[in-house]
Amino acid sequence: MIAFFLRRLTAAILVLAAVTFVVFLIVYLSPGDPVKTLLGQSATAEQIADMRARLGLDLPFHEQYGAWLWRVVHGDFGRSISTQVPAMSILLPAFGNTLILALSSLFLSLLFGVAIGVTSGFRAGRLLDKVLMFITEVLAATPVFWLGLILIWIFARELGWLPSSGMRNMRARGSNLDLLAHLVLPSIAASVLAISIIARLVRGAVIDVLASDYVKIAQAAGMSSFRIFRKQVWRNILPPIVSVGGLQFGTLFGGVIFVEAVFAWPGISAQLFNAITAGDVAVIQAGVLMIATTFVAINLVVDMVLVWLNPRRAL
Amino acid sequence: MTMAPSPLPAPNRRPVFGAGFRLGRTAVALVVIAFVVVAALLAPWVAPFDPLYGDGALRRLPPGTEGHLLGLDAQGRDVLSRLLWGARPSLIAGIVPVAAALAISLVLGLLAGYTSSFLGGLIMRVIDALFAFPMILFAIATVSLLGPGLTTIIVTITISLVPYMTRIVYGAVVGEIGKGYLETARLLGASRSRILFKELLPNVVSPSIVYATTLIGPMIGFSSGLSFLGLGIQPPNADWGRMTVEGVEVFAQGAPHVVLAAGIAIIVTSLAFNWLGSGLRDILDPQQG
């Protein structure tokens, strides 16, 4: 198990190294000159050359990459070229907000995904199963941003139950209830695709377990459905739930970007888009690196938990 | 390694609906897809109005306004005409990158599964590394290189799908290895390229096509999302995602018809492709059920 852990950790570090290279390469190749943006149109060629030298932009590619990587490894992601604020102090609070949204979506995805999957699995082939699975199919085909707009329309505009955008109401500063109210609609929108994926997977796993000999024996012995679920089914569907839950967390992180745009959630995507529009290299690099690192870390943790649940996987 | 983190709905391992229902559903899906494709092709002739011409006097009028079946948008443009023209980029963004990724993945998957273990290992490790990138980051990267537009959407989706599809092709290739016909061909002195492309390829193509078909629907949704974010189709042209953004203006003024029309077009078309995909699986790849 230790060997497996080390192997996966090495692989994760290699992936991250590759990610840093790609991130740097993309920004290096991208059109638009940050120095001209910085100095404005009236800058003389001399001023531009001077600024390039000061920012180290005149060095060959590998030296620029090396210097950048060295700083990144030491936690220095550079400063925003437009505001001169360190990239991390722009991104970290936004990242926290994104994390709040992603976690609450993960919670909803697991809650509803497992509930629907288990219900459908126990009722396989019945009308309820068909209705639930049909709904998940339609939801899986519904674009996240569009669903967000519809939720805003119904629950914020028409019914007025919930706030339509942002994260906090200025007048209710710091109230957790206020934050929760702002979280409801974006979390639902972000979790719908994951709910339908988890529900289908759990349904399949439940059907498999129910068809197994030990469940048949338990049924023959007169064990109640609830007891069978608690004693037999639950333990056997847990690994696929962890697996898909972890993978979906990564996907949620990607999908959350659309949701943040619809609900004006002050997360990492808003900062990333501002940075792209402004050609703010340091912020783009740090933001992309942050999302990729989160991805890799989640996958690593999921792998670890799966091995812990079933040590044979490590072989 | 764990299974690929899929942003896409996995096929339902345990079929929900009976064979008859699934066959009927596939037929419905084919009709819907044929309808959308024909509408997109014939848009210049069947669209009642110029999709870019806005009549200031008719702004935001609801569906059923005389001559405008689906109403008008914030700039007084005919929603039905824009929907028909919008089918073009939306379909292209769903189909072209999936086909391109399929072609690339067939080559990569065959090479990885049936050549030297060094090359195979290298390809699959690179593929693993690509999984570390969320699709949206590919989009951001491509936009910062190429600028927004249909090309960006196509490039983004192609790159992001290659890892998923290569896994599928690779799995299919590994499943074929060791089967009698390959061994026979090899003993008969067939060249490696003959084995790869004449023997292996036909057996790997059908599960790959089945998988590819199920990707078209989600990609129509994803590409419209990119346009929604401003990374895709640029105004005044519109795909269904761009129409949704523009619909948001009138949406806030109590006229939801633009957003509804665009969204329903996306949902119905993606659902049709998903159903076609599961229908194809029933026919081409029955053991996967």
> What residue spans define the domains of chain B?
29-42+72-284
| Burial degree of A41 (CB within 10 A; 0-12, 13-18, 19+) | exposed
pLDDT reported for residue B123: 84
pLDDT reported for residue B5: 38
Query: For residues B164 and A240, which has the higher predicted lDDT (pLDDT)?
Result: B164
Under the banding of pLDDT at 50, 70 and 90, the label for residue B6 is very low
pLDDT reported for residue A173: 64
Lowest mean pLDDT among B72-81, B134-143, B260-269: B134-143
**pLDDT greater than 90 at residue B271:** yes
**pLDDT greater than 50 at residue A20:** yes
Tokens coding B243: 């129409």
* Interface-testing mutation among B33, B128, B137, B222, with chain A (most A C-beta atoms within 10 A): B137
User: Which candidate, B241, B153, B151, B164, places its Cα nearest to that of B208?
Assistant: B164
Cα A62 from Cα B268, distance rounded (Å): 49
Rounded to 5 degrees, what are φ and ψ at B60? 65, 15
Report the Cα A247 to chain-centroid distance in Å.
Answer: 9
Are residues B228 and A295, on separate chains, in Cβ contact within 8 Å? no
Are residues B9 and A140, on separate chains, in Cβ contact within 8 Å? yes
Burial A104-121 (b: 16+ CB within 10 A, else e): bbbebbbebbbebbbbbb
- Mean pLDDT (whole number) for A95-112: 90
pTM: 0.83
**pLDDT greater than 50 at residue B2:** no
Nearest chain A residue (CA) to B270? A141
Under the banding of pLDDT at 50, 70 and 90, the label for residue A271 is confident
Which ipTM value was assigned to this complex?
0.83
Query: For residues B239 and B101, which has the higher predicted lDDT (pLDDT)?
Result: B101
**B283: left (phi > 0), else alpha (psi -120 to 50), else beta?**
alpha
pLDDT reported for residue B1: 29
Nearest chain A residue (CA) to B218? A141
Q: Look-up: residue for tokens 């501002």?
A: A274
**B77: left (phi > 0), else alpha (psi -120 to 50), else beta?**
beta
Under the banding of pLDDT at 50, 70 and 90, the label for residue B265 is very high
* Chain A to chain B Cβ contacts (< 8 Å): 158
Collect all residues with Cβ–Cβ distance below 8 Å to B11 and sequence separation of at least 6: B214, B277, B278, B281, B288
pLDDT reported for residue B97: 95
pLDDT reported for residue B264: 92
Under the banding of pLDDT at 50, 70 and 90, the label for residue A5 is confident
Q: pLDDT by residue (tens digit) across B196-250?
A: 888 888 888 888 888 898 889 889 988 888 888 888 888 888 888 888 888 887 7
CATH topology of domain B29-42+72-284: MetI-like fold (1.10.3720)
- Mean pLDDT (whole number) for A300-307: 80
Are residues A138 and B271, on separate chains, in Cβ contact within 8 Å? yes
| SS3 annotation, chain B | CCCCCCCCCCCCCCCCCCHHHHHHHHHHHHHHHHHHHHHHHCHHHHCCCCCCCCCHHHCCCCCCECCECCCECCCCCEHHHHHHHHHHHHHHHHHHHHHHHHHHHHHHHHHHHCCCHHHHHHHHHHHHHHCCCCHHHHHHHHHHHHCCCHHHHHHHHHHHHHHHHHHHHHHHHHHHCCCHHHHHHHHCCCCHHHHHHHHHHHHHHHHHHHHHHHHHHHHHHHHHHHHHHCCCCCCCCCCHHHHHHHHHHHHHCCCCHHHHHHHHHHHHHHHHHHHHHHHHHHHHCHHHC
**pLDDT greater than 80 at residue A164:** no
Q: pLDDT by residue (tens digit) across A166-223?
A: 777 666 666 777 778 888 899 999 898 889 888 988 888 888 888 888 888 888 888 7
Q: Measure B163 CA to nearest chain A CA, in Å.
A: 14
Lowest mean pLDDT among A12-16, A113-117, A297-301, B115-119: B115-119
Q: Measure B68 CA to nearest chain A CA, in Å.
A: 23
Cα A62 from Cα B96, distance rounded (Å): 36
- Mean pLDDT (whole number) for A83-95: 85
Q: pLDDT by residue (tens digit) across A134-155?
A: 999 899 889 888 998 899 888 8
Are residues B128 and A18, on separate chains, in Cβ contact within 8 Å? no
Are residues A146 and B262, on separate chains, in Cβ contact within 8 Å? yes
pLDDT reported for residue B3: 35
Percent of chain A exceeding pLDDT 90 equals 8
Average pLDDT score over chain A: 82
Under the banding of pLDDT at 50, 70 and 90, the label for residue B287 is low
